[in-house]
Amino acid sequence: MSTVSHHQFLLREEKSDFLSQKDALWEACAYSRRCPSKETYNEDAVAIIRVDDETAVFAIADGCGGYRGGEQASELALQVLTDSIERNESGPDRLRVAIVDGIEQANIAVQELKIGAACTIAVVEYHRGTIRPYHVGDSMILVTGIRGRIRYQSVSHSPVGFAVESGMLAADDAMHHEDRHLVSNVVGNASMRIEIGPAVTLLQRDTVVIASDGLFDNLSIDEVVGGMRKGKLRQSLGSVTDLAYQRMLGIEGQPCKPDDLSVIGVRALKLNHASRL
């Protein structure tokens, strides 16, 4: 019997409407848009997977540019992840195993395409006001409070991401670095590794941001936090995605890295914390 009660996808979008889903404990809003400078498919894929009234999984996969079949890799990765969650018959308590298995199975499935395709993936598990992040590559996960305090931020699996984390490179300089497009860990590679982050207990009105690198390569962390931390979730998401897209079109003196752009915002509405994650 499937444990998934509902799921929604954004796949190969040229420009999507905002995809929204709301439950008693959380609300989520997602958006995906193709890079403004290309006519091929959007290689990002987005999934909102509602498991039950208290549990959900949110995921973004970003097909690696410069490789064949990026859109196939991202779409396949999220479908395999969803299938793994659907096969989980033990309920939310075993969801972490299903997510890790799903990412590992996605890695095998993408390799079996045998076209050199690859993607990154960022996944957030939500259960009763507590989240746990999982990621491979440079799609990022961030948790911010309503006052702008960053409560969690993933480290990109990339030379530039590790340089920023070590303090060797300033975050503002990273946005202009010539190697910011390089990724050191991807789904579709035999040496893939999954980074599992800590359980984060959300506070009232905390916002979780999951995004492909199209967001954070064009906006600073402070700009994303400032745009997402308050206001109605859909309007907040619209403000940061609009600004990122404008940057991709070119604004003098500002970062500009045209890319596919996908973002999920998740906000805790009512807290009923669990300790199982």
Q: What is the pLDDT of residue 183?
A: 77
Check whether domain 6-268 has CATH 3.60.40.10, yes or no: yes
Cβ atoms within 10 Å of 94's Cβ, excluding its own: 14
Helix, strand or coil for residue 84? helix
Q: What is the pLDDT of residue 144?
A: 96
pLDDT band at 24 (very low <50, low <70, confident <90, very high): confident
Average of per-residue pLDDT across 153-158: 87
When comparing pLDDT for 183 and 160, which is higher?
183
Report pLDDT digits (tens) over 198-211. 999 999 889 999 99
Dihedrals φ, ψ of 248, to 5°?
A: -65, -25
- Distances 127 to 33, 145, 178, 274, 275 between C-alpha atoms, Å: 28, 18, 39, 7, 9
Residue 217 predicted with pLDDT over 70: yes
Distance, in Å, from the CA atom of 87 to the CA atom of 268, rounded to the nearest integer, reads 27
**Mean pLDDT taken over the chain:** 88
Report pLDDT digits (tens) over 64-112. 977 789 999 999 999 999 999 999 866 666 899 999 999 999 999 999 9
Please, what is the Cα angle at 276 between 102 and 92, to 5 degrees? 45
Average of per-residue pLDDT across 52-62: 93
- So where are the chain's domains? 6-268
Report pLDDT digits (tens) over 218-235. 999 999 999 999 899 999
Would you give the end-to-end CA distance of the chain in angstroms? 22
Predicted model pTM = 0.91
